[in-house]
Structure 1
């Protein structure tokens, strides 16, 4: 039965109508004026890429495609001809920072739900060229990863000094949200040095730039630029109850991203210095009790016996207000500054002891260094450990600890999430938000313990 194409008939009718006589409209054919922002973004956008992480998997005829989006099916390899090629798991964004193919993105963009790095990563440029990317290194604690593609003469985005960014500065977020393609949004810097968000899991190092430039899923790893087209941040997270943008987004400052990427390029991993203390932000009560001149700083709630801070002369209850001349406003800034330090480095720490100003330089140890005393795990309150030859021995588990039903004193934790439990810092670095898998030596036998952390 013949079915007319109504849309085609309508189009023909409209064309005929328009041609019947000239419409009584005034048409201005002059081009829009080119603004400085338009010219700037024309240079910025070619340096932004889409990042597709995958996993090696054989696709069978029994696979259920019902839950996939059209884009999932588009990127899926042919089931008969390319069975061993990657299946795309998601999408994020990245920033080209060197003409020979270095790309900065987020750790969580190139990490699968299992917590393991993707077996394959595909990068697509704005000119539609695709490359297989090599993962040079990734750091969960700052949510930064560094990729390399085999290409030359690529467009790049230069770094700005994020320390000079001010609240109110105009910024642009560039990335690939919701897989719709390259997108630019505009806003301002809403706040600086945001921490305590636990983006990417527990025990992370945070000092985010907050912006109201709309950031949505898929923007992760993309650029936050200033009006001069310089990189001021790597878009990382949004605050949202429904999954969409509500005007509160967070970006890793460019200075931090650059420092982490530099060390990943050099070493392939991040080996941080061990300070040897558990800290908390100073509030009004702490400031009054410690006789501080201002409500600012990081109080050393506990100092590891025999650790670097202890050897330098710092005591529990002391407050640190500066490191290497940089002011320490709270625990987040304290940890962030130390996160960029290396083993063996001497950091000049200033603060207060019982109301008196003191200075004690601390020589940082390797994070795998053992200390003589036990230590409470920051992200698992009530769980205390000490280093022993095999791993970390549990010395105490309080009744209110999240680990109370899982662990007992004298048990030895051998591994956490596949990483050897060699010291408290290394242990805390391996803790994830969500499911954590432990290998534990209990009564002479190795057992597996699962602990979920919110």
Structure 2
């Protein structure tokens, strides 16, 4: 027991000594220093203007000015569709049945005069037999088609009214990328809709117009445009018309980011021609053109990849007569630069046949200037007259009731007859034209198209209101 007591005492003394050693070391030899680190926050501050909201564009004036001058257009057309009885033997024996089919359409338009001239897209009113215009104040008018131009997709209507609100032309040539604009129209039949966006590109050629002489130099914006906006206004911050909304880029049929408008530089000329002549006076250079690309620039040793490359010159055309040649690169028209084919088309479209324009080209690394006398589609400098003016008549669609009474499926009635080809051929007021050159005529547009495409003699068949059938033959040549 004594031996155990000595061992225990020795163990306690060892433990106590260890504690004493640790205390002495920490007190006299290992003083831990605690350091507090204060971090300085290095931030950069930007002083914003106190009234920064005032820097944003105020579009309320433009919206209020334009919304009352943009109208809703409703169209109606009647086509005779064919349907099957469901029995192939009966269809083979009796033929397919005919049944009138009524089609409704809608779009927008822009009032451009207080007496009722209205601009819209050709595709809005194309093939329409009845055109109704609804104003922002809910008034409704029947509209008359003054004329249409498929090559630019512009049409001109007229309503009988006075003191209408209207827009004035702006200058689309002065538009800048990033400039704010408003799109005003009636998407999805929602009247008086205003959307805002910026000019995101100019001189776009989309290839959507199918006309042989199509002119495309669209203004591209990101203002929301949807079905029903076609024919509506694109206005600047001053509320002036700078374009006619025409198309959208979409895989779904609805707006997905970009919309396109015909610039007012083209619209103004088309409207003036339709009012004065009933047909657009298209001035042609007589060249096949394309944009200069890197390959062409390298081949011709050009300093810049821009300009309009002449791929071919039409024999006896305006350009050929003036001395322009294949592989010339057009860089300006009357002192204004032309970097793309779309820009060249836009500038030339503002002239009429017979006008002289100065064209500058690059040929063999040298600039050469030529004075070109522009020509019409027939190859001369004469004014092209609307065939309807030559015919000396006005027409209107025939109602379904009249068709049923007379046993006809198509037809337009002569409502006014003056000196002209039809009167000389023996037609009388009230005569209903049912076919031209054996092709049925459902509306005035059909008649215009068939007469315009006719070569040589024209056969007109129809019936008078008393049921008497008749036919006439005439020519358009003097």
Does the 8 Å contact 2:133/2:142 carry over to 1? Answer: yes
CA drift of 1:89 comes to 2.1
Query: TM-score, with normalisation over the residues of structure 2?
Result: 0.62
Distance 1:128 1:304, change over 3 A: same
CA distance in structure 2 between the aligned counterparts of 1:58 and 1:305, rounded to whole angstroms:
44
Is it true that 1:92 corresponds to 2:73 in the alignment? no
Distance 1:40 1:354, change over 3 A: closer
Is it true that 1:224 corresponds to 2:234 in the alignment? yes
CA drift of 1:191 comes to 1.1
In the other structure, the counterpart of 1:171 is 181
In the other structure, the counterpart of 1:162 is 172
Distance 1:39 1:101, change over 3 A: same
Which structure is larger by alpha-carbon Rg, 1 or 2?
Answer: 2
CA drift of 1:369 comes to 2.1
CA drift of 1:215 comes to 0.2
CA distance in structure 2 between the aligned counterparts of 1:55 and 1:266, rounded to whole angstroms:
27
In the other structure, the counterpart of 2:197 is 187
CA distance in structure 2 between the aligned counterparts of 1:212 and 1:229, rounded to whole angstroms:
18
Is it true that 1:285 corresponds to 2:300 in the alignment? no
1:270-300, CA deviations, whole angstroms, 9 ceiling, x for partnerless residues? 1212322111111111112223232111111
Is it true that 1:41 corresponds to 2:63 in the alignment? yes
In the other structure, the counterpart of 1:378 is none
SS in 2 for 1:89: strand
In the other structure, the counterpart of 2:86 is none
Does the 8 Å contact 2:217/2:345 carry over to 1? Answer: no
CA drift of 1:350 comes to 0.5
1:103-145, CA deviations, whole angstroms, 9 ceiling, x for partnerless residues? 1111111113xxxxx2221111011111111111111111111
Distance 1:90 1:194, change over 3 A: same
CA drift of 1:211 comes to 0.7
More helix by share: 2
Backbone CA RMSD of aligned residues: 2.6
Pairing partner for 1:142 from 138, 152, 173: 152
Does the 8 Å contact 1:108/1:200 carry over to 2? Answer: no
In the other structure, the counterpart of 2:276 is 266
Is it true that 1:365 corresponds to 2:375 in the alignment? yes
Does the 8 Å contact 1:343/1:365 carry over to 2? Answer: yes
CA distance in structure 1 between the aligned counterparts of 2:194 and 2:450, rounded to whole angstroms:
38
Pairing partner for 1:51 from 51, 73, 87: 73
In the other structure, the counterpart of 2:207 is 197
CA distance in structure 2 between the aligned counterparts of 1:306 and 1:91, rounded to whole angstroms:
44
In the other structure, the counterpart of 1:207 is 217
CA distance in structure 1 between the aligned counterparts of 2:314 and 2:366, rounded to whole angstroms:
22
CA drift of 1:305 comes to 2.3
CA distance in structure 1 between the aligned counterparts of 2:350 and 2:236, rounded to whole angstroms:
24
Does the 8 Å contact 1:53/1:111 carry over to 2? Answer: no
CA drift of 1:43 comes to 2.7
CA drift of 1:247 comes to 1.3
CA drift of 1:419 comes to 4.2
Does the 8 Å contact 2:265/2:350 carry over to 1? Answer: no
In the other structure, the counterpart of 2:116 is 101
Does the 8 Å contact 2:73/2:107 carry over to 1? Answer: yes
In the other structure, the counterpart of 1:240 is 250
Query: TM-score, with normalisation over the residues of structure 1?
Result: 0.65
Distance 1:349 1:366, change over 3 A: same
Q: How does 1:402-413 map to 2 (within 5 A)?
A: none
Distance 1:314 1:201, change over 3 A: closer
1:73-116, CA deviations, whole angstroms, 9 ceiling, x for partnerless residues? xxxxxxxxxxx9x955210000111111011111111113xxxx
